[in-house]
Amino acid sequence: MIYTVGGIKGGSGKTTISTNLVVYLLKQGRDIILVDADDQESASDFAAFRLHTLEGNLGYTAVKITGSELNASVAKLAEKYDDVIIDTGGRDTVSQRSAVSISHVYLVPFAPRSLDVWTLGKVEKMIAEMKPFNPKLVCLAFINKADPRGSYKEEVAELLREATNIEFIEASIGNRISFANSVGAGLSVLELKPTDDKAVKELEQLMNAINKAVDNKSERR
Ligand SMILES: Nc1ncnc2c1ncn2[C@@H]1O[C@H](COP(=O)(O)OP(=O)(O)O)[C@@H](O)[C@H]1O
Ligand SMILES: [Mg+2]
């Protein structure tokens, strides 16, 4: 499976979600490659932190690929790995479009903040433009960084439910220090000690919901 984590907003949690997805799949015994398609290189930074924390034991393959040839390179890599995760930058770039063109699943996190939600129209438009090149692409939106007491989350959920071309996943990820701290150490919340049970549960529920949505969409075809 090829997953692209993207969107048209920086700071929405793309790298946090990509890296947690990588470790989630690793724990299922899968052979994973994480493609850093962002010139800011946060996924590569994560790999460097992880190598330090785990004393050289990365557990997955890390590469950086950007530009219009990304899809061709990923197509070759996909033959050799169980899953490919592509972490993109928060802009509508050639790299992100190239990644979307070759992916099975396009995951778009939205922080429940107005500036983030305003990018929804651009994401919908980009998907509409990319669909002819990749008609089977499964596009999924979800909320990341939800504040426990924030009422805005429900308003944003409402907007995302009504989006076109992208399905809303009801499982959301909270704004939790454990997500920020674990990524900073090159770890997933699944690996952080002491364990933040709520964060782990949220991540597992999100991953289950993603799998379910992908299965449903595939069956309908
Ligand atoms: N669920 C979360 N809870 C707490 N902090 C988060 C969460 N998701 C992301 N962050 C923090 O928000 C910032 C941006 O996240 P990042 O994953 O780098 O976003 P992006 O890759 O979309 O730019 C980072 O400081 C990260 O630690
Ligand atoms: Mg990033």
**Gap from CA of 219 to ligand 2 centroid (Å):** 32
pLDDT value at 17 more than 80: yes
Average pLDDT over residues 61-79: 98
In 3D space, the residue among 49, 86, 83 whose CA is nearest the CA of residue 65 turns out to be: 86
Per DSSP, the three-state class of 173 is coil
Average pLDDT over residues 68-82: 98
Which ligand gives the minimal distance to the CA of 16? 1
**Gap from CA of 12 to ligand 1 centroid (Å):** 6
**Gap from CA of 104 to ligand 2 centroid (Å):** 20
pLDDT value at 26 more than 90: yes
**Matching CATH number, 2-215, of 3.10.20.30, 3.40.50.2300, 3.40.50.300, 3.20.20.100:** 3.40.50.300
Ranges of beta strands (E only) in the chain are: 2-5, 32-37, 61-64, 83-88, 105-110, 138-143, 167-168
Which ligand gives the minimal distance to the CA of 119? 1
pLDDT of amino acid 34: 98
Task: Please indicate whether residue 15, judged by its CB atom, sits closer than 6 Å to ligand 1.
Answer: yes
pLDDT value at 150 more than 80: no
pLDDT value at 171 more than 70: yes
Q: Is the pTM of this model over 0.95?
A: yes
pLDDT value at 21 more than 70: yes
Whether the Cβ atoms of residue 209 and residue 133 lie closer than 8 Å to each other? no
Return all residues near 62 (Cβ < 8 A) that are at least 6 apart.
33, 34, 36, 43, 44, 47
Task: Please indicate whether residue 172, judged by its CB atom, sits closer than 6 Å to ligand 1.
Answer: no
pLDDT tens per residue across span 91-130: 999 999 999 999 999 999 999 988 888 899 999 999 999 9
Percentage above 90 pLDDT, the chain? 91
Task: Please indicate whether residue 203, judged by its CB atom, sits closer than 6 Å to ligand 1.
Answer: no
Task: Please indicate whether residue 178, judged by its CB atom, sits closer than 6 Å to ligand 1.
Answer: no
**Gap from CA of 149 to ligand 1 centroid (Å):** 19
Q: So where are the chain's domains?
A: 2-215
pLDDT band at 37 (very low <50, low <70, confident <90, very high): very high
pLDDT of amino acid 220: 66
pLDDT of amino acid 151: 74
pLDDT band at 221 (very low <50, low <70, confident <90, very high): low
Task: Please indicate whether residue 176, judged by its CB atom, sits closer than 6 Å to ligand 1.
Answer: yes
**Gap from CA of 14 to ligand 2 centroid (Å):** 5
CA distance 190 to 20: 8
